Amino acid sequence: MTLDDARQCLGEAGYRIRKEERLGNNTGTKLRLNGGAIVNVFDNGNYFCEGKNGEVVEALLDRGGLDKS
């Protein structure tokens, strides 16, 4: 999944990105969403969700037809 894919999928689902920043180790980008979820989108195409409602957001991205591998 690319960063643009994640932005599009989240936006279509009604999530708003409150803050976007590079990860401290410079391997990807952290998206902080309204509602408390955090999506880490890595440059290699992987992603990981955490924070409040992180499981819900991860399930949304998984269902979006985007390969998490």
**Alpha-carbon Rg of the chain, whole angstroms?**
11
56 located within any domain: yes
Report the domain count for the chain: 1
Q: Which two tokens stand for residue 20?
A: 């976007």
23 located within any domain: yes
Domain that holds residue 14: 3-63
pLDDT of 67 reads 43
User: Could you report the per-residue pLDDT of 29-58, keeping only the tens digit for each?
Assistant: 999 999 899 999 999 999 999 999 899 999
pLDDT of 68 reads 43
Cα 7 from chain centre: 7
pTM: 0.87
- In this predicted structure, the answer to whether residue 69 has a pLDDT above a threshold of 80 is no
Distances from the Cα of 11 to the Cα of 7, 17, 20, 26, 29, angstroms: 6, 8, 14, 24, 16
Q: What is the CATH number of the domain that holds 35?
A: 3.30.310.10
69 located within any domain: no
Contact 60, 47 (CB under 8 A): no
